Amino acid sequence: MIQAVFIDRDGTIGGGSEVEYPGDFTLFNNALLSIERLKKAGIKVLSFTNQPGIAKGIASAIDFERELLGFGFDDVYLCPHDPNHGCECRKPSPGMLREAARHHHLDLSKCVVIGDRWTDLLAAQEAGCYKILVKTGSGMDAFEKYRNSKYYGEWADVTPDAIAEDFVSAVEWIINKGAKDGYLTKREIKTK
């Protein structure tokens, strides 16, 4: 059984390829319904997001936490640091995933990460989670680089377990493959 789904924010459940701050952020159609579907299936819904604007004083962690909890997330994991800070939580580090696993007593091999950037998938792979790339936000660019190149820099060894058109499709895949059958099969890749 899938225990939890870690979901990136910007470009995955709404917004675009750049950060949109609380108050300006708009969810994609049916994102709230998809979050609710995961919860009804008994799956924890956890955020998994880098937000360097916090370190710059543009927004606060509380602003992001309120927003994400208001969307129905069960818990919020975010990295507030600048990319040059050298922290253990910033993706592609699996720090947020490991922290959540300790806090919620999760087996990360029974968890899924949904994101639009290769850094999301890198963190998932290092933690042993299933990886779903969505083609929204920066996802189409990441997908094209993955599809058209044998080598994608240091990330060449990362293969998504699924590629979805959007967040709703990713949740559908999880519900159909994970909740229904009780597990997901790694390396089952959808490419359209």
Q: Which residue is associated with the tokens 């319904």?
A: 33
Displacement of CA 187 from its chain's centroid (Å) = 18
Residue type, 182: G
In the structure encoding, which two tokens stand for residue 77, read together? 């994991």
157 is catalytic: no
Cβ 120 vs Cβ 130: under 8 Å: no
Peptide bond into 92 cis (omega under 30): yes
The DSSP line for 134-168 is: ESTTTHHHHHHHHHH-S--GGGTT---SEEESSHH
Interatomic CA distance for residues 157 and 100, integer angstroms: 25
Positions of E strands within 8-156:
44-47, 49-50, 78-79, 111-115, 130-134
Which residues face 10 on adjacent strands? 14
161 is catalytic: no
What positions carry a catalytic annotation? 8, 10
